[in-house]
Amino acid sequence: MTDFRPPVADLAYALTHVVGYDRVAELPGFEHADLDTATEILEEVGGFMAEVVAPTNRAGDLEGARLNPDGTVTTPTGFKEAYAAYVEAGWGSVPLPEAFGGGDFPRAIGLAIQELTMEANMAFSLAPLLTQGAIEALLHYGSEEQKQAWLPKMVSGEWAGTMNLTEPHAGSDVGALTTKAVKRPDGTYGITGQKIFITFGDHDLSDQIVHLVLARTPDAPAGTKGISCFIVPKFLMNDDGSIGERNGVHTVGVEHKMGIHGSPTCVLSYEDATGYLIGDENLGMRIMFVMMNSARVSVGTQGLAVAERAYQQSLEYATGRIQGRAIGATQDSPIIEFPDVRRMLMTQKSYIAALRRMMLLNAVQVDISTHHPDAATRARADEIVGLLTPICKSFGSDLGNELTSLALQIHGGMGFIEETGAAQHYRDVRIAAIYEGTNGIQAADLVGRKLGVRNGASFLEFIATMRELDGELADAGDEFASIRAQLSTSLDMLEQTTAWMLSTGQSDPNSVLSGSSPYLRIWGLVVGGWLLAKSALAARELDGDAIAATQLPMARFYAEQLLPAVAGLVPAATAGSRDLFALDADALGDVVARRGARV
């Protein structure tokens, strides 16, 4: 056991009172997923994660996954048992189609389950996460035969899945990949090449691993247009459905990383491995985006989840650590009584609440975009998902770094000692800003692909939606006055910055890209402030609810003390590209050019 306390109550509060889960539960196909049922599941999942998975987190960090001399990969002590229990309980299948053994629950509930898994053990959570990405790609693009062959055991979790994109010279630029796929007479393909950074690329948790591999057929067009996606199982399947001989894929390395040691990040070598084409040739990028878009929100959720775990630990430390005497105290005080420690706690707590609401809002929109009977409603929800996804990914993972740093800081010197565990959270979460598209790529996606949707109308309509809260805030009286004022000011700035982006974009795309990261951060701050304001408004009618009681102070702290950062970011978002390109590489390295020189 650890002292991890699954934040099920706040998840339920956010679903019920902030992101409109009731709309989802009314959608055709989700009738069984009413809030009571969903909350019951989350409570069970929370208990499971606290009791079974959370205790593996520390051993996972200390031992790490390892590559054995015989080429097999062993996960840390406890992972195998925890994964078996996870499969047995069926948590991974909850949001997946009933046709393949799933529970047909909404994405919103699936994401909440992911959050709880990530809080328990981020490294462990990657195995089911990657499997789910592979499942989604197969659901969208697989043939009926492929679905029947692979999905049931992937949905149950008995088989794991992976995503094989990156190669040494093809990271952010996926189009540069060179892994070859040569069609054979029997219709299968021979896959040859090397893939790196493959999360859970090999392990001992499941009998079979289903790799989805991006590769290039011999006559394929250059770049991203010539990429195809293949199923390449670790073991070939016999005709009777039993597992056959080893396929031509081997682990040649497991990376030594700063964090998530329990997750084996593999270098995989494919040597004429048998692959089965998904969809048609050259559809690979489209399939990849199905996997990626869902994964990106999940990665943002990692930032939130690890921050939550670290926050709980720092709060406990701050409550128990007696050190010095606070102003007005008559005896030595726990450090939680010191204002600056309070600032670190409130900053963590309110950002975490904002992020949780943002991730769930995104998931609710995914559910609407897939299940709503009205096509226009589906289309609009899809636009909102497109807008929110890069924000969730980047803002969530950036804050993951910043908030775990605050949690570590609260521990003082103990935070830097590995035994305390605070450092592990800080190290683990650092990858989230990098993988599934670096945060810079997300910002480029926001201004490059998403901003232009309907010439900016998608963004402007979302801003208008956020403005609709103003009337309710006005009616709510003095207690909400500062929230209303700050939110209104920030929305003005967001709108003006968006207008600048739209007017600049056509003529000067480099200037728009130059401001993309600060612009994304502005979005994150404003959406977070809007959701906390909604959350606080809803709380007024929930007397006696412990979560409700904290919403107004949190929303006010966020509005008054965190949201004003928007004003500090607007100049950078709209500064254009001149300053960024004023110095060339030599000038940027002037200390290099001047080595040993006298001034």
User: Segment 105-124, which members bind a copy of itself (CB under 8 A)?
Assistant: none
Q: Confirm or reject binding of residue 562 to a copy of itself (CB under 8 A).
A: yes
Report d(CA 275, CA 188) in Å as an integer. Answer: 6
End-to-end CA separation in angstroms for the chain: 62
Question: Residue 180 is which amino acid?
Answer: K
- Binding-residue pattern over the window 314 to 353 for a copy of itself, x denoting contact by CB under 8 A: -xx--x--xxx--xx---x--xx-xxxxxxxxx--x----
Q: Confirm or reject binding of residue 396 to a copy of itself (CB under 8 A).
A: no
Residue 69 in 3-state DSSP? coil
Of 419, 436, 468, 479, the active-site residue reads: 436
Binding window for a copy of itself (CB under 8 A); candidates: 64-72, 132-140, 293-301, 541-549 = 541-549
Q: Confirm or reject binding of residue 519 to a copy of itself (CB under 8 A).
A: no
Within residues 155-174, the interface with a copy of itself by CB under 8 A covers 166, 169, 171-173
Cβ 300 to a copy of itself, closest distance in Å?
16
User: Between 379 and 593, whose beta carbon lies closer to a copy of itself?
Assistant: 593
Cβ 464 to a copy of itself, closest distance in Å?
25
Give the angle subtended at the CA of 81 by the CAs of 80 and 86, to the nearest 5°. 95
- Binding-residue pattern over the window 245 to 284 for a copy of itself, x denoting contact by CB under 8 A: ----------xxxxx-------------------------
Binding window for a copy of itself (CB under 8 A); candidates: 213-221, 275-283, 361-369, 539-547 = 539-547
Within residues 179-238, the interface with a copy of itself by CB under 8 A covers 196-197
- Binding-residue pattern over the window 485 to 514 for a copy of itself, x denoting contact by CB under 8 A: ------------------------xx--xx
Q: Is 29 left (phi over 0), alpha (psi -120 to 50) or beta?
A: left
Contact by Cβ (8 Å): 314, 411: yes
Q: For residue 419, what are the contacts with CB-CB under 8 A and spacing of at least 6?
A: none
DSSP conformation class of 228: E
Report d(CA 427, CA 413) in Å as an integer. Answer: 16
Q: For residue 471, what are the contacts with CB-CB under 8 A and spacing of at least 6?
A: none
Secondary structure (DSSP) of 341-385: HHHHHHHHHHHHHHHHHHHHHHHHHHHHHHH-S-HHHHHHHHHHH
Report d(CA 57, CA 431) in Å as an integer. Answer: 16
Report d(CA 263, CA 205) in Å as an integer. Answer: 11
Contact by Cβ (8 Å): 505, 579: no
Contact by Cβ (8 Å): 212, 134: yes
259: number of Cβ within 10 Å:
20
User: Between 38 and 273, whose beta carbon lies closer to a copy of itself?
Assistant: 38
Binding window for a copy of itself (CB under 8 A); candidates: 209-217, 227-235, 294-302, 590-598 = 590-598
Known catalytic residue at 158:
no
Cβ 479 to a copy of itself, closest distance in Å?
11
User: Between 57 and 93, whose beta carbon lies closer to a copy of itself?
Assistant: 57
Binding window for a copy of itself (CB under 8 A); candidates: 145-153, 236-244, 363-371, 414-422 = 414-422
User: Between 168 and 477, whose beta carbon lies closer to a copy of itself?
Assistant: 168
Residues annotated as catalytic (active site), given as ranges: 436
